[in-house]
Chains A and B, each alone.
Chain A
Amino acid sequence: MSDEQFEKLRQELRRGILVLAVLGSLRKPHYGYSLRKQLQDVGLDIDEGTLYPLVRRLADQGLLTSEWQQGEGRERRYYQLSPEGAVLLDSLSAEWLQMNNHVSKILEAGNGTD
C-alpha cells in the first residue's frame, strides 16, 4: 500500500473519531486554540483548518453552546457541550467502546492466526 493510500484511509478513520474527541473535550469550556492544545496534549494533532470548522458545525447542530468572553485584553469564543450534545456524547461513547471492542477482537484474532 502506498503512503498516499495509507494517508487517505487514516484520515477517513480519524474523521469520525474527531467528533467524539471534540465533544468529549468540550465537557469543559474551551476556546478554539485551547481546545486544539488540549487535543494535542493527549496525542491528537488536528490541524486548525479541520478543527475550527468542525467545532462551528457541531455548534450549528446545537450540540455545543458558545459564548464570547473577554479575557487578557481580547475576546474569545468559548464552546461547551450542550445538554443535547451531552446525551449524544454518551450514546456515541458507548457505541465507540463497543465498536472498539469488536474491532480489537477481530484484530487480535487476525494476529493469532499468523
Chain B
Amino acid sequence: MELIDRYMDAVAQALPESRRDEITRELRANILDKLEAIAYEQGRAPSDTEVSAVLVALGHPQKVAGSFLNGQQLVSAELFPLYKRALHYGLILVFILALIQFGVRFLSSGDLAIANFLYEIISKALVMFASVTGVFYLLSNPVGGKPYFDPYSCWAPEKLPPVTRGWQRIKACEQSVDFTTDLFFLLLLNYTLWIPSGQLANLTIAFTEPVQQWIPILSVVIVVSLIFGIWKLIYRYWTVPTLVIEALINFSMAIPLMLVSRLKPIVVDISATQEHVEALRIGNEVISIGLFWVGIWLIFMAGWSLYRAWQLSR
C-alpha cells in the first residue's frame, strides 16, 4: 500500500487542487480493483513487485494526471498560427521601442550604448513572450471549455488576398524593418521637438540651416510612408495601386535626400570648444555619400516597384 500512497501523492501534486481529491480517489479505486483481480488469479496478495508493475503500466504520475486535465495545453493547435503572428508583431514592437530608447539616449547624451540596447531588446522580448503566451494560454484553456471567441469566424473567400505571384506577399520582417527605419529617421530629423530643452542645450552637433529647411518636407514624406507602412502591415500584399504609391514615396524621398547630400556641411559642431573639427569633416563626407547612395537606391526601388506594377497590370 505504501507504493500506492506514494504514487497517488505524486499524481495529486500534478493536479489542480479543485480536482485532486475526486481524481485520486477514483484512480486509487481502479488500482485496487486491478490488484484484487491479480490476487484472485494468483490466489495470494500481490507482491510489491506486482504492485509496482501495475503502477508502471498505468504510467508516470505526471502523465496520468495530465491525461485527466482535458487536453490542457499552453497554446492550442488551432490558435498556434495566430500565436506565432502575435509573437512576430510583438518582436517588431519590442525592436521599435528599444530603437527609440537607444536613439533618445544617443541623441541626448552621445552615449552609444550597444550593450544596453541589446539588454533592452532581450528583456522586453522576454516580457512580451511571457505576456503573449499567458494570453494565449487563457484563450486555449477557457473556463468551462467553451471558447471565448473564434478568431477564424470572420472571413470570406472574397476577402482573401488577390495574390497570383509569390513576390506579391509582403514579408512582415521586411515591412517591420522599413517601418522602424522610417520611425527612427522621423525622430532623428525632429529631435528638437521631443528632446527636453535642458538636454537640447547640451547637444554638440546640429543640422546646418540649409539642411533644416528640408526637414519639414522629408518629415511629411516619412509620415506618409509610415501611414502607408501601417496599411501594408494590415494588408500584406502588393497590388498595382500600392506599388505605384510605394514608387511615389520612394521617389519623393530620394530627391530631397540627393539634394541634401549636396549641401555640405550637413551637420556642424555647436559646442563651445569646437574640438571635433576633423571628426566632423569625415562625418559630413560619410553622411553626404551615404545620403546620395540611399537616394540612388530609393530611385532604383521606385523603378522596381513600377516594373512590378506593370507586370501585375498585364
Binding site for B on A (CB under 8 A): 31-34, 37, 47-50, 52-53, 56-57, 60, 74-77
Q: Which of B67-101 contact A (CB under 8 A)?
A: 67-68, 70
A33–B34 CB distance below 8 A:
yes
Residues of B within 8 A of A50 (CB): 67
* 9 further interface pairs, Cβ-Cβ under 8 Å (given A34-B33, A49-B63): A31-B29, A37-B37, A47-B57, A48-B30, A48-B57, A52-B68, A56-B23, A57-B70, A75-B29
Is there a chain A Cβ closer than 8 Å to B27's Cβ? yes
| Chain B residue with the shortest CB-CB distance to A60 | B70
Number of residues in B with C-beta < 8 Å to the partner?
Answer: 18
Main SS class of interface, A: helix
A52–B26 CB distance below 8 A:
yes
Residues of A within 8 A of B70 (CB): 57, 60
**Given A32-B26, A77-B26, CB of A49 within 8 Å of CB of B34:** no
Residues of B within 8 A of A47 (CB): 57
B59–A49 CB distance below 8 A:
yes
CA distance A47 to B58 in the complex (A): 8
Is there a chain A Cβ closer than 8 Å to B64's Cβ? yes
B37–A33 CB distance below 8 A:
yes
Residues of B within 8 A of A33 (CB): 30, 33-34, 37
Is there a chain A Cβ closer than 8 Å to B32's Cβ? yes
| Chain A residue with the shortest CB-CB distance to B68 | A53
A56–B68 CB distance below 8 A:
yes
B64–A74 CB distance below 8 A:
no
In whole Å, how far is B177's beta carbon from the nearest beta carbon of chain A?
Answer: 41
B27–A52 CB distance below 8 A:
yes
B33–A53 CB distance below 8 A:
no
B32–A74 CB distance below 8 A:
yes
CA distance A33 to B25 in the complex (A): 14
Residues of B within 8 A of A77 (CB): 25-26, 29
Q: Which of B32-63 contact A (CB under 8 A)?
A: 32-34, 37, 57-59, 63
| Chain A residue with the shortest CB-CB distance to B27 | A52
